[in-house]
Amino acid sequence: MATFLHDGLGFHYLDRGAGVPFVFQHGLGGDVSQPFGLYTPPPGVRLIGMDCRGHGETRPLGDPKKVALAAFADDLVALLDHLEIPRAVVGGVSMGAAVALNLALRYPDRVLALVAAYPACLDRPLPENARVFTHAAQWLLKFGAAGGLERFRRSVEYARIESESPETAKELERQFTDPRAEECVVRLERIPHDAPAHDREEWSELETPALVLGRRGDPVHPRRFAEDLAQTLPDSRLVELPPPSAGLARHADALQSAVDTFLNETVLRPPRTP
């Protein structure tokens, strides 16, 4: 893992493969290992991912007010500049999808294509998400990681999510078990109340080809959000991935296939014009 300095922080990133650059970002509370665990760059693709502020090995935390989607997008542009990459495919998982969409809307000249894997917010936060993460932040601040997790497991929010998707409930527990959960609790206070863009008119003007990935049975990432985004972006396609209950391996295989197909058809071997 390499590091570059920007805005007083050491940003950790991974850079593998060679070819068309594809920047693929992690979700809330995750790190660069998440997208790299889901997608393996095939020949002709250079996969890049970075630990966002307040995540993974990017240190120090820095200005808490910059724990925000727009700042995360600015940090990615700084990474592209550091690597001397003028344009790249930009994508992400959950929060990472929001960062990628924000970047595509604000820096369209830097984006070859967009990959949004199960978005959790669009032009406004999802109220259920904001509530559960706000409560998680409060429990972390008051009771610490271990005590906060215990109370989270006893909460109404946990019971609601577990009833719909036990796998998603287990994923949420990582917000407490992450080594920096207490130090970086601000990410749970701020990110769930943020949104990649507040004006849907901007989406309809985005000419970048886009792949939107959705899945059923995930209360944190409703499939209707993926449908809504795909319907609004003018040059997009929607692909459904297996639900969380199908397991990580099957999910990763489906994501790999969908992204490979999309990249082949848009930036690796785009169709010839007559």
Instruction: Note the pLDDT tens digit of each residue in 64-109.
Output: 999 999 999 999 999 999 999 999 999 999 999 999 999 999 999 9
Q: What's the pLDDT at 272?
A: 63
Per-residue pLDDT tens digits for 141-167: 999 999 999 999 999 999 999 999 999
Angle between helix 127-153 and 156-164 (nearest 10): 100
Half-sphere exposure for 190 (CA within 13 Å, toward CB)? 16
190/177 Cα distance (integer angstroms): 19
Of 17, 16, 4, which is closest to residue 43 (Cα–Cα)?
A: 17
Across 18-46, b (16+ Cβ under 10 Å) vs e yields: eebbbbbbbbbbbbbebbbebbebeeebb
* Alpha carbon distance 54, 61 (integer Å): 5
pLDDT at position 271, please? 61
Q: Classify residue 252 as exposed, middle or buried by CB count within 10 Å of its CB (0-12, 13-18, 19+).
A: middle
d(CA 211, CA 234): 11
Note the pLDDT of residue 263.
97
| Token pair belonging to 31 | 């790190």
Cα 131 to chain center, whole Å? 19
Indicate where the chain has its CATH 3.40.50.1820 domain(s): 2-125+195-268
Q: What is the CATH number of domain 2-125+195-268?
A: 3.40.50.1820
Share of the chain above pLDDT 90, in %: 89
Q: Would you call 155 exposed, middle or buried from its count of C-beta atoms within 10 A (0-12, 13-18, 19+)?
A: middle
Reading phi first (left if > 0) and then psi (alpha if -120 to 50, else beta), residue 62 is in: left
Q: Say if residues 173 and 181 touch (Cβ distance below 8 Å).
A: no
Average pLDDT over residues 22-48: 97
Split at pLDDT 50, 70, 90, the class of 274 is: low
Range 48-53 average pLDDT: 98
The pLDDT tens digits for 185-212 are 999 999 999 999 888 888 888 999 999 9
- Across the range 55-61, mean pLDDT stands at 97
**Does residue 270 carry a pLDDT above 90?**
no
What is the spatial distance between Cα 227 and Cα 212, in angstroms, rounded to a whole number? 8
Percent of the chain with pLDDT over 70: 98
